[in-house]
Every structure is written in structure tokens, then in C-alpha cells.
A = this chain, B = another copy of it.
């Protein structure tokens, strides 16, 4: 499945949830296309790739589309994830519902600050990073979210890789090195802002090049 389609399916899913909450039962390719600024044929091709079918005149069933997208992205299969680094951002994420929305189940929190170790955060006891290796092995944790300072990112990554982690959601502003079998998804907050910065100027100058 091409990466571009995956990204759009995720966007469709968000919007379909909104439509369902408004009690709508069906959506047309043209409706989705207008919202996301793409052609309706692109939407139909995406939905064909997903294996969904619609009905001429009425469109696609919203519930069916949601279900298929969730299946395709493996969101219904909650994978165990650990959070490494309980700073401001880590704390905000720990208490959020992104984990289950994104297909994961937050099961462990690690930090190196002795003040934090042993405290309880959203039902999870904060553990020392020295316990990381053993805990991941014994708990069968598949993924990790890294919200540590840049300087700690690579050492923590190496530890995670050795412990057999399969996926990393990386918030540190660093390119971390991992072996080919480990999946890294970078979440770069600054990059979102930089894109906004660039687009605001292009917009205002009419320089759409």
C-alpha cells in the first residue's frame, strides 16, 4: 500500500468519525475530495485499494469505511508501548488518548530522574531507565515513544533495539540510527511549525511557487 494512500486513509478516518457523530450514514467520493482538496477519482482509487465498495447515487457506507481503515492500519490490534522520558511532553502524552486512537496501549513509563521514579502517572508506576531492558523483555512490549532530550536519544534507542523493540515513535529532534528491521516514525514538532512558516509567506506574497 503506497505511503500517500495510508496518509489519506488516516485523514479520511478522522473526518468519517466527525460525520458519524453527525449521524450521517454515507459519504460520496466528491464530498471527501472537496474537503481534502483532491480529485474524487483519487478518493475512489484510495477506497478501491482499501477493498471498499460504494453504491452509485448514495456513495460509501461510513461505518464500513471506518472499519476497513482501522483494519488496514492495524489500529484494532493494540500493541504494547512504553514511554521513555517523562518531561512536559511525555507527561502530556501519557495522559492523552492518542495511544488507543493510534493502535497502541501504553503499558510502561521510564525516566532517569530519581524524583519521578516510583511515582504513579495515569495508573502506571514510573520506573528507572536502568530497568528498561528487562522490563521490555518480560512484558512483551513491542514499541516505544521517545520523549527524552536530544543527547539521550541515541543511547536510549540502542538500549531499546537491544531489548528487541520493533517500532519507535520518536519526538526527539535527532535522526536516530536503528537496524533495518526496526520501524521509526519521527514526530517533528518544529517541522510542522517550519512548514507553517514557509506556507504563510508563500500565501501572503502570492508567490505560489
Contact = CB atoms under 8 A, between A and B. Distances in A.
A11 to B, nearest CB: 7
A98 B202 CA distance: 21
A102 B10 contact: no
A182 B89 CA distance: 28
Interface stretch (A59-67, A109-117, A125-133, A183-191): A183-191
Contacts of A104: 193, 197
Given A88-B92, A175-B14, A167 B190 contact: no
A195 B10 CA distance: 8
Contact of A203 (B98, B103, B166, B188): B166
Copies in the complex: 2
A59 to B, nearest CB: 18
A79 to B, nearest CB: 7
A10 B188 contact: yes
A39 interface: no
Given A88-B92, A88-B96, A6 B195 contact: yes
A7 to B, nearest CB: 7
Interface of A: 1, 6-7, 10-11, 13-15, 18, 35, 72-75, 77, 79, 87-89, 91-93, 95-96, 98-99, 101-104, 142-143, 166-169, 173-175, 181, 183, 185, 187-204, 209
5 smallest A-B Cβ distances: which pairs? A102-B193, A103-B197, A88-B92, A185-B196, A101-B190
